[in-house]
Amino acid sequence: MRKASMYISPAIALLICIAGCAKQVGKTGSRGTRSTYVIGMSQCNRGEPWRVQMDADIKAAALKRPELKALFKDAQNNTATQQAQVREFIAQGVDLIIISPKEALPLTKPVAEAVDAKIPVIVLDRKVHGDKYTCFIGADNVLIGRKAGEYLARVLGGKGKVVELKGLMTSTPGQERHEGFMQGIEGSELEIIFDADCHWLEPDAQREMQSALARFPEIDAVYGHNDPSAHGAWVAAKREDKGREKTTKFVGIDSLPHEGIRYVRDGILSATFEYPTGGREAIDVALKILKGENVPKNITLGTRIFTKDNVNKGGEVL
């Protein structure tokens, strides 16, 4: 009950999932396959809220399937630990492995070993090299950035001054969210007047926004590469006490239930764009694999936009 608020959006997602899977349950019974399956999940770093959410999504989806038992391991941001975890799962003889790898290259071999041992592997979010895995599920940061750019161009009437608070720009998501955004505002008269690398951190975003506010009397929108950055910028604008937190549009990415979605509901952010964890989809795919059905090699997830109008309806699929 305590965690109920964290599960609002996965719960909605689950309803859809249950409806979709209902037929398959009967099929399993009739084929007389094994009654329970053990899934091993290796998460690279539970220190990140988004990854905590991924585990929560997997757990919630797996709980709805009595035939599935999920084991969770946290590599605590250590590649060697994660390599060991995959090998532990192989030794243990789990029926399927889900992995969200910390790094591609060092985890390619352990994943291949699992496939050689006839254990299917679903790779989430970050890829491994080669094609020795069963299914990759990931989101498209360029697409999300583009949708954010198109949204701002639309609500600002194609013209305006934008502050971009970037994520860590040496990381691929940071680069892609920037690249996509530039594609999205192409052709409009939106102009980025101030930008800074905020390393995904809210305090850094708040500091940079204070500089931007001091320098520019007119800021029409703030594009944060994640929701905490956008929130930090809003707090800085509010602290300035000139009412600019109301006239500026703040947009973020990720849409975690207790962060971005709540900020939209409270009127802090104009919009947040979901970066789906793929946790729910991973369980869907896992069930298909375990039943011997064919699954696509690569699945790219779409995004959803949450605004004040649709936030209570679970957002809008883009």
Partner 1 sequence: MADRRKTSSQDKAALAGRALYALGNFRGIAALAAVLLLGVIFSPQSETTGKLMFLTRRLHNDTLFENAEYGILAVGMTLVILTGGIDLSVGSVLGFAATLSSLLMVAYGWSPVPAILVTVLAGALAGSINGFLISRFRIQPFVATLAMMVAARGAAKWISGGIKVQPGARENYALQGNPPQFYTWMTSKVGGIGFEPATLLFIIGIIVMLLVVRYTGFGRRLYAIGGNEEAARLSGIRVASVKVAAYMLCGIMAALAGVSNAARLQLGDPEAGFTYELDAIAAVVIGGTSLVGGHGGMFFTLVGTLIIGYINKILSINAVAEHFRLLAKGGIIVAAVLIQQRRKT
Compute the least distance from the CB of residue 181 to partner 1, in Å: 17
Report the candidate in 89, 203, 217 with the shortest Cα–Cα distance to residue 163.
217
Compute the least distance from the CB of residue 284 to partner 1, in Å: 26
Q: Pick from 5, 172, 300, 312 the residue near partner 1 by CB under 8 A.
A: 5
Residue type, 141: N
Query: Rounded to an integer, what distance in angstroms lies between the CA atom of residue 183 and that of residue 101?
Result: 29
Query: Rounded to an integer, what distance in angstroms lies between the CA atom of residue 66 and that of residue 51?
Result: 24
How many CB atoms within 10 Å of residue 20? 10
Does the protein bind partner 1 through residue 214 (CB under 8 A)?
A: yes
Query: Rounded to an integer, what distance in angstroms lies between the CA atom of residue 177 and that of residue 54?
Result: 20
Q: CB of 288 within 8 A of CB of 104? A: no
Does the protein bind partner 1 through residue 197 (CB under 8 A)?
A: yes
Does the protein bind partner 1 through residue 308 (CB under 8 A)?
A: no
Q: CB of 240 within 8 A of CB of 213? A: yes
Stretch that binds partner 1, among 98-106, 198-206, 244-252, 278-286 (CB under 8 A): 198-206
Does the protein bind partner 1 through residue 196 (CB under 8 A)?
A: yes
- Residue closer to partner 1 by CB (options 228, 278) is 228
Stretch that binds partner 1, among 22-30, 82-90, 141-149, 199-207 (CB under 8 A): 199-207
Stretch that binds partner 1, among 140-148, 201-209, 291-299, 301-309 (CB under 8 A): 201-209
Cα–Cα distances in Å, from 178 out to 7, 71, 84, 137, 174? 29, 36, 35, 22, 6
Q: Pick from 154, 159, 215, 242 the residue near partner 1 by CB under 8 A.
A: 215
Strands 271-274 and 304-307: antiparallel
Does the protein bind partner 1 through residue 312 (CB under 8 A)?
A: no
Stretch that binds partner 1, among 95-103, 107-115, 207-215, 271-279 (CB under 8 A): 207-215
Cα–Cα distances in Å, from 197 out to 163, 178, 216, 244, 272? 12, 11, 18, 22, 19
Query: Rounded to an integer, what distance in angstroms lies between the CA atom of residue 113 and that of residue 132?
Result: 9
- Residue closer to partner 1 by CB (options 74, 284) is 74
How many CB atoms within 10 Å of residue 116? 10
Local structure of 268: helix, strand or coil: coil
Q: Pick from 210, 288, 295, 310 the residue near partner 1 by CB under 8 A.
A: 210
Stretch that binds partner 1, among 64-72, 183-191, 208-216, 298-306 (CB under 8 A): 208-216
Burial class (CB in 10 A: 0-12, 13-18, 19+), 72: middle
Residue type, 313: K
Angle between helices 141-155 and 172-185 (to 10 degrees): 40
Does the protein bind partner 1 through residue 232 (CB under 8 A)?
A: yes
Q: Pick from 125, 220, 259, 274 the residue near partner 1 by CB under 8 A.
A: 259
Stretch that binds partner 1, among 132-140, 149-157, 194-202, 298-306 (CB under 8 A): 194-202
Compute the least distance from the CB of residue 166 to partner 1, in Å: 9
Containing 258, the helix (H) or strand (E) segment is none
Report the site for partner 1 in 83-122 (rule: CB under 8 A). none
Lay out the site mask for partner 1 across 44-63 (x = CB under 8 A, - = otherwise). --xx-x--x-----------
Site of interaction with partner 1 (CB under 8 A): 1-6, 46-47, 49, 52, 169, 194-197, 202-203, 206-208, 210-211, 214-218, 228, 232, 235, 239, 241, 258-259, 262, 266
